């Protein structure tokens, strides 16, 4: 798995989902949503997500 630093940013790509990103980085979906103020079910290509463990 790719390592994630405290300030790691990830740019969402076409075809990415929260579930795929969660699995790729080993971070729970609810954590990704909370750190990025995501209230809905989806994300859009081009968005920058803050990922941290």
The tens digit of pLDDT for each residue in 27-47 reads: 999 999 999 999 998 899 999
In CATH terms, the superfamily for domain 8-51 is LysM domain (3.10.350.10)
pLDDT-derived band of residue 52, with 50, 70 and 90 as boundaries?
confident
* Chain position carrying tokens 């971070």: 27
| DSSP per-residue codes, 17-48 | -HHHHHHHHT--HHHHHHHTT--SS---TT-E
Name the pTM for this structure.
0.79
């Amino acid at each position: 798995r790719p390592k994630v630093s405290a300030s790691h940013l990830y740019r969402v790509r076409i075809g990415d989902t929260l579930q795929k990103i969660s699995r790729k980085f080993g971070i729970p979906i609810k954590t990704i949503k909370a750190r990025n103020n995501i209230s809905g079910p989806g994300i859009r290509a081009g968005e920058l997500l803050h990922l941290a463990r």
